[in-house]
Chain A
C-alpha cells in the first residue's frame, strides 16, 4: 500500500536536493548559451572547416542520449586533462569534481540544442529588417544589436523554455555520477525505508511544480515582450 505518511515525511528531504537540480540546469544553460552564440556565429558566417565541424558536433549531440554523453564526458574529460598535461599544462585529472563533469556534459548538450533554436529564431527574422537598417547607415553590428537580435529573442523564447525544462528533467541522470539531486535523493530516501513509490511520487510532484513555475515565468516574459512590441 502507498504509505502516505512516509511520502509526506520524505518530501522535504527530497525537496532539499532541488537546488542542485536547478544549479546544474542553470549553469548548463548559461554555458550552453555562451557556446551556442559562438556556434551560431561560426555557422552563419560559414567559417571554413569550423562551421562544418560544429554542424557535425551539434548533430552528434542531438542524436545521442544524454546519459551516453554524460558517461563520455565522465570518462573522457579526465583523459583530456592527462593529454593536456602531456602538452605542458598543469591540471589534476583525478581531482575533477563530479559537478564539473555535469556542467560540462549538460553545457554541451544545451549548446547543441540552443544553437539550433537560435539559428531558427534568427532565420525567422525577416532579412528585410536587417537590410533596412543597413540602408539608413547602421553598421552591420548595429543593425544586429538594434533590430535583428531583439526580434530574434522574442522568437527564441518558446524553444528556449522547452530546452531549459528538458535540462531540468535530464539532470535526473546525474545521480549516475554520484551527484545527489532530486532523483538521487529520492533513491537514497527510498532505500532507507524500502518504499520506492512514495519517494518517486514525491520527486514527480517536485519536478512538475518546478517545470510549471518556469514554464509560466517564461510565458509571462514572452507575453510581455510581444505586448510591448506588438510583434505578432
Chain B
C-alpha cells in the first residue's frame, strides 16, 4: 500500500466539510473521484498535500505515519516532495517560461542542479510537442497548452502520486480530449494518481477504482463497472441519473 488515510476530518467555519474519510491507494492505482459540486472533493485533495490542514486524521505514506492535524514542517515537506498537484486553473507560474515552470520544481523543490533540471524540462516539452514554446510565458500559451505543461511540471518530479483537481474543467471542449489522453497515457505507464473529474468517460475507461463522493463522505467505491453499471446506494444512482438526464 502506497497511501493510507484514516478518518480524515475537516471543518470550515464550523461546518463539517470532510466527515471521516478512509482511503487507501496501491501503487499504480488510478482512483477517480466523482460527486456533486461542493461535496468536498477539492478539499480532500488539498488536505492530502497540506494546502489545507486537516482537523484530525492519520496518513500513512512512504513508510511514515503522520498525524494530519499536527504534521511537522518536515513531514509536510516530505509529502509535498513525493506528490504533485495539477490544478483546475493550471496555476502555471506567470513569471516563468514554459521550460522554467517545469524545471523549477526539480531545482527548488527537489534540489537538482539547474542543468539536468533544464534538460529534463526540455525533454518533457519535446514529448508534448511543445518544445518550440519553451521560452513562452503562460500568458502566451493557450489553456490547453498551459494545462499540458502543468501536467509536465508534476510528472517531471517523478512523484509517488499525482493529485488532479478537475484538470479539464477550465478548458474549451475540443481541448479536453487531448489533455485527458495525456493523463490516460500516464495512467497506462503505471503512474499512481487521484483524479477528480466530471468527465465520466474518463472515469469509466481509465479508473482502476471510482469513488462516489457526497456531503464530505465516500458514499460508494468500486470498479467503474460496479459504480456505473451496478451502483448500490440510492445517492449514487440519483447522481448518475441526473448526469444521464443532462446528456
Contacts and interface: CB of A to CB of B under 8 A. Distances in A.
Contact of A137 (B92, B94, B137, B157): B157
Interface string B117-157: 00000000000000000000111100000000000011001
A136 B105 contact: yes
Contacts of B108: 137-138, 142, 146
A131 B51 contact: yes
A133 B110 CA distance: 12
Interface stretch (A65-73, A190-198, A214-222, A224-232): A224-232
A225 B75 CA distance: 37
A138 B76 CA distance: 11
Contact of A150 (B49, B84, B95): B95
A147 interface: yes
Query: Which of A129, A133, A135, A146 has the largest number of chain B CB atoms within 10 A?
Result: A135
A137 B94 CA distance: 18
Interface residues of B, number: 29
A140 to B, nearest CB: 9
B54 interface: no
Contact of B80 (A128, A134, A146, A231): A134
Q: How large is the interface on A (under 10, 10 to 19, 20 to 34, 35 or more residues)?
A: 20 to 34
Contact of A136 (B50, B109, B139): B109
Contacts of B184: none
Nearest to B78: A137
Interface string A87-105: 0000000000000000000
A135 B80 contact: yes
A232 B139 CA distance: 8
Interface in A120-144: 126, 128-129, 131-139, 142
Interface string A200-218: 0000000000000000000
Contacts of B140: 230
Nearest to A139: B77
Contacts of B185: none
A117 interface: no
Contact of A230 (B81, B105, B137, B154): B137
A21 interface: no
Contacts of A129: 91, 93-94
B84 A229 contact: no
B89 interface: yes
Contact of B94 (A134, A138, A142, A151): A151
Interface string A63-81: 0000000000000000000
Contacts of B32: none
Contacts of A131: 51, 87, 91
B95 A136 contact: no
B85 interface: yes
Contacts of B50: 134
A131 B84 CA distance: 11
Which 7 residue pairs spanning A and B have beta carbons closest together?
A137-B109, A136-B105, A132-B91, A230-B137, A135-B85, A137-B81, A128-B91
Interface of B: 49-51, 77, 80-81, 83-85, 87, 89, 91-96, 104-105, 108-110, 137-140, 153-154, 157
24 contacts: A126-B94, A128-B87, A129-B93, A131-B87, A132-B85, A132-B91, A132-B93, A134-B50, A135-B51, A135-B83, A135-B85, A135-B87, A137-B81, A137-B105, A137-B157, A139-B77, A146-B93, A146-B104, A147-B93, A147-B96, A229-B137, A231-B95, A231-B137, A232-B139
